[in-house]
A and B are shown apart, each in its own frame.
Chain A
Amino acid sequence: MKAKFNNIKISGLSVVVPEKEINIYDEAQYYDNSVKKIDRMRKMVGFYKRRVCDYETTPSDLAYDAAKNLIEKMVIDVKSIDILLFVVQQPDYVNPACAYFLHDKLGLSKNCLAIDINQGCAGWVYGLFVANQMIASKTAKRILLLNGDTPSPKIDLSNRTTAPLFGDAGCATLIDYCEDNIESYYNIETQSSGFEALIEPYSGTRFRLDVQNDNDFKLMSELREIRYATPNGVCVSPFSGYMDGLAVFDFTMNVVPKNIKELLKYSNNTQNDIGTLCLHQANKQIVQTVGNAAGFNEEKVPYYAFETYGNNTMCSIPTTIATLDKNSSKEKLLCSGFGNGLVCASALLNLKDTKILDIKTFEKPSYVKTRNEYIKYWEKKFKGEN
């Protein structure tokens, strides 16, 4: 699907990352204590540093902190926000939507619509696309788009194909109607035949616990103990995510460069017109390969964000934007997110008037309780004691 929008601008952007940094050179025990093996990974895929949260931090915590930062630094009247969009794949609760929770915590207006969108690595571009449609339809003038993802806590550290890859992050983007001539172009493609290439197969109602059936409790606890050996010898739990790396790479190579070239043509631009190609930071190898196949010079396709923060899924394009040189031209940024679905979502954006905040270190919201505190809290609720 292709679309063009006008009179809509991205007013502000804030990214937060957890304080804890892991450096792959501190994980030599997983590489037979061989610096040479780590060097190989560093050179081939760009594994280096990543930011990870603790087990009790959720995507909504990170998104809330990014939103607070944006609201404070830009002095935004929260009552002026017409719609809250929250892109999340690991919500705090399956029901109700996490956007309601954030709507409450941020003190948004009763007239403000709150919606969750389930998308992964293309989630920022997806959110922008939906926001643009809503403003273009004249139902909203101001939209707060939040993104949050915490892939790292679910991954076993011994899983060397995915553990060094992912980082955690949250992001807030303010999108406004404007009188200025600010155009954006989108090209979104869905290849749902690759649905199982990136998946958490045991995460939803296909593996619903039958509370009437004691055997189901037993089956579930047995399933939780299982570890399957992957072809590269890694033991993974079926409850963590599954990635068919080669199939995803195949999709990326066949679909993404073409999608980007189509968008250039649709918007009457060439590679030379684009300031920076901000690709989803899947890994260094993929960023370089896609950039090259799409016809861009290497210096226009940064992968610094991957090496510094890890692949923080739907926040990786905003993270890339926040790490660009402050003086670089942002009038024509081509952004492309690709991943689970499988989907590819590219956008040509004009961020020349966007307030891009420095990447902030995450501070846990004061309302967040520990796991044990939550258990006691809900126990009281169930018993009608509070």
Chain B
Amino acid sequence: MKKEEFLTELEDVLQREEPCKETDDLNSYEEWDSLSKMAIMAYYDKNFGIKLTLKELKEVNTVTDLINLAGDKIQ
């Protein structure tokens, strides 16, 4: 998946109205709650076959950190 495509998808997963940028701090998003974290875990599992752990998600700060968790699945 292309990075730009993922950023658009991320908006939908988080049900966010404003665009997501790579440099954004997720903790500054009002939508970055436990529901969103669950939605991200479900999205990664379904689309990339990657099972994220809670520990990994807790260490995520920026959108870039999140992209890095997908390894080569997001380019």
Contacts and interface: CB of A to CB of B under 8 A. Distances in A.
A45 B54 contact: no
A289 B15 contact: no
Interface residues of B, number: 17
Interface string A72-113: 000000000000000000000000000000000000000000
A178 interface: no
Contacts of B23: none
B42 interface: yes
A45 B35 contact: yes
A254 B46 CA distance: 14
A285 B38 contact: yes
A285 B39 contact: yes
B41 interface: yes
Nearest to B33: A232
B72 interface: no
A285 B42 contact: yes
Contacts of B33: 232
Interface size class on chain A is: 20 to 34
A246 B15 contact: no
Find the residue from A41, A43, A253 having the highest chain B CB count within 10 A. Answer: A253
A43 B46 contact: no
Nearest to A39: B15
Contacts of A246: 34, 37-38, 54
B51 interface: yes
Nearest to B13: A44
Contacts of B59: none
A154 interface: no
B39 A44 contact: yes
Name the prevailing secondary structure of the B interface residues.
Answer: helix
B16 to A, nearest CB: 9
Name the prevailing secondary structure of the A interface residues.
Answer: helix
A65 B44 CA distance: 44
A210 interface: no
B24 interface: no
B45 interface: yes
B45 A36 contact: no
Contact of B45 (A43, A232, A253, A286): A253
Interface in B43-64: 45-46, 51, 53-54
A293 interface: yes
A288 B41 CA distance: 13
A250 B53 contact: yes
Interface in B1-42: 15, 17, 31, 33-39, 41-42
27 contacts: A36-B17, A41-B35, A43-B15, A44-B39, A45-B35, A161-B34, A232-B34, A245-B38, A246-B37, A246-B38, A247-B54, A249-B38, A249-B41, A250-B53, A250-B54, A253-B41, A253-B42, A253-B51, A285-B35, A285-B42, A286-B38, A289-B42, A289-B46, A292-B42, A292-B45, A293-B45, A293-B46
Given A45-B35, A232-B34, 5 more contacts: A41-B35, A43-B15, A246-B34, A249-B41, A285-B42
Which 3 A-B residue pairs are closest in the complex by CB-CB distance?
A289-B42, A40-B15, A249-B38
